[in-house]
Structure formats: C-alpha cells, structure tokens
C-alpha cells in the first residue's frame, strides 16, 4: 500500500512539475468558461427549464474536453518512461506490476478530477446571478460529477492501455484518442440500426455514453450504467496490466 502511495504521489507530482499539467488545466478551464459564456448568452434570450448541468453536458465543449484530455493526461504514463529508459529503473525495483498500473491510473484520475474543479466555480456563478435555486440542485451537480468521474475513468483506462502498448507519447495519444472516439460513436450506432435489429440495438445502447451521461447530468443515477462504466474501466486496466506483464513473455 505504501509503495502504491509513493508511486501515485510521484506520478501526480510529475504532472505538476512539468508544464504539461498546467497547460492541460488552463486549456480545460478555457473550454469550460467558453461553454458557459455560450449558455449564458443563450439563456438570456431563451429561458428554459433544463438544468444547467444538462445543458453543459450536451455541448461540444464537454465532449471535446473528455475526448482530448484523457489521451493527453495518460499518454506519458508508460510511453514516456519507456522512451526515456526510466521504465527499466522502475521495473527492476521490487514493485508489483499491479501496483504500478494502479498507481499510474490513480494519479491520472486524481489529476483529471482536479482539472474539472473550475466547472464548480462556473456553476456557482450561474446560481449566484440567476437567483434561481432550482436551476442548480445538489442532486444534478452530484450526478454530473459522478458521470464525469465514471466516464473519465473509462477514458483514462483506455489511455493507460494505449500508453502501455506504445513506445512514444505521440503514438499513445493517437491510439487513446481513436479508441475513445470509437467507443463514443458506438452508442450512436444503436439509433442508426433498422428497427428489426432488436437485440443488436439493445446491446449497442449499453455503449451509449452520450445518453447515459444525460441521465447523470439530470441527477438520475442508473446502476446499470454505473456497473457498465466500472466494469469496462476494470477491463481496460486488466488489459493494461497484461500489456505491462507481456514484457516477460517476449
């Protein structure tokens, strides 16, 4: 456990000791802010009953952040160590492969959550100036953050896997991005299928990341989607672990 914490702390520190971490946070803050400027303009002319969080999730900004931030945060995890050679240093200490994968993933997840904090400030601004407590209830915010956490964990686990199978950061980012976009698009396939393809569209609707996130943003937590995200995340972490272990089979 203490080795896990030591490793995770270093991974997190590495993000903040380099410029990368700050650039990611700055870019995300900018995108969140832009998103809110767009709603507030829309809201001013066009009042609506939809919660602010739901409006935000359905914007391009939200998905842009989600699809791009995952690969950018995770690309360095394994690929950078491999290309700089420190991977050899790390893997010849008596740490288990599980601890390495878990620590790297945990650090990425913590960074990812820190990155989303500016959203709270934006929501605060909205509730302060609309003077509408109903526009922003704790349930919706909690649901939104749970959604952000679960969807993010899945995309970060994709990124971990991509980084573990790549030798360069660039390659890792590209693989992670392609995997993320593929997963994201899979959900839209369900509605494109003909009505006769009943079970196929049922199956595909489980991958409807977009639709599930809408429920979260409304404050509706469906255990099916929670289990879906958690199990898919664990699946990709398992693949990552296998990729790390594969060094010993070659």
Partner 1 sequence: MIEVTDLTKRYAGRTAVAGISFAVNRGEIVGLLGPNGAGKSTTMRILSTFLPATSGTVRVAGYDVFHDSVEVRRRIGFMPENNPLYLEMRVREYLKFRARLKGLGWARSRQRVDTVMEQCGLTDVRRRIIGQLSKGYRQRVGLADALVHDPELIILDEPTIGLDPNQIRSVRQLIKSLAGNHTVLISTHILPEAEMMCSRMLIMFEGKILAADTPENLQHQMAGNSQVIAEIAAPMAELHRVWQEVPEIEQFDISAAEGEFFRCALTPRDGYDLRPQIFALAREHGWTLRELTRSRHSLEDIYVQVTRRNEEEKENG
Report, in Å, the least distance between residue 93 CB and partner 1. 5
Q: Which residues in 92-121 contact partner 1 (CB under 8 A)?
A: 92-96
Task: By CB under 8 A, name the one of 41, 42, 48, 86 that touches partner 1.
Answer: 86
Neighbours of 137 (CB within 10 A): 14
Q: Which residues in 171-210 contact partner 1 (CB under 8 A)?
A: none
Report, in Å, the least distance between residue 191 CB and partner 1. 46
Selected range binding partner 1 among 13-21, 22-30, 156-164, 205-213, rule: CB under 8 A? 13-21
**What are the tokens at 171?**
């390659």
- Distance of alpha carbon 221 from alpha carbon 236, whole angstroms: 23
Q: Does 14 bind partner 1 (CB under 8 A)?
A: yes
Cα of 138 vs its chain's centroid, Å: 22
CB 186 within 8 A of CB 204: yes
Report, in Å, the least distance between residue 7 CB and partner 1. 7
Name the 3-class secondary structure at 219.
coil
Q: H or E element: which one contains 170?
A: helix 169-192
Binding site for partner 1 (CB under 8 A): 2-3, 6-7, 10, 13-14, 17-18, 84-86, 88-96, 247-250
């Amino acid at each position: 456990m203490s080795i896990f914490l030591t490793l995770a702390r270093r991974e997190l520190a590495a993000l903040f000791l380099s410029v990368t971490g700050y650039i990611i946070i700055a870019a995300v803050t900018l995108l969140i802010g832009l998103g809110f400027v767009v709603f507030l303009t829309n809201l001013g002319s066009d009042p609506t009953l939809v919660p602010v969080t739901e409006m935000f999730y359905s914007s391009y900004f939200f998905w842009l952040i989600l699809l791009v931030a995952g690969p950018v945060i995770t690309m360095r995890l394994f690929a950078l160590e491999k290309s700089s050679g420190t991977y050899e240093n790390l893997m010849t200490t008596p740490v288990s492969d599980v601890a390495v994968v878990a620590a790297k993933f945990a650090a990425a997840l913590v960074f990812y959550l820190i990155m989303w904090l500016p959203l709270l400030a934006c929501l605060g601004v909205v509730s302060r100036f609309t003077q509408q407590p109903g526009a922003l209830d704790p349930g919706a915010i909690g649901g939104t953050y749970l959604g952000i956490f679960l969807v993010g964990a899945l995309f970060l686990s994709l990124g971990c896997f991509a980084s573990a199978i790549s030798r360069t950061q660039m390659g890792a980012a590209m693989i992670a991005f392609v995997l993320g976009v593929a997963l994201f698009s899979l959900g839209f396939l369900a509605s494109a299928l003909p009505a006769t393809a009943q079970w196929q569209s049922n199956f595909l609707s489980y991958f409807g990341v977009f639709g599930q996130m809408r429920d979260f943003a409304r404050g509706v937590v469906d255990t099916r989607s929670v289990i879906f995200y958690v199990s898919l995340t664990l699946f990709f972490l398992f693949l990552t672990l296998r990729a790390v272990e594969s060094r010993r089979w070659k």
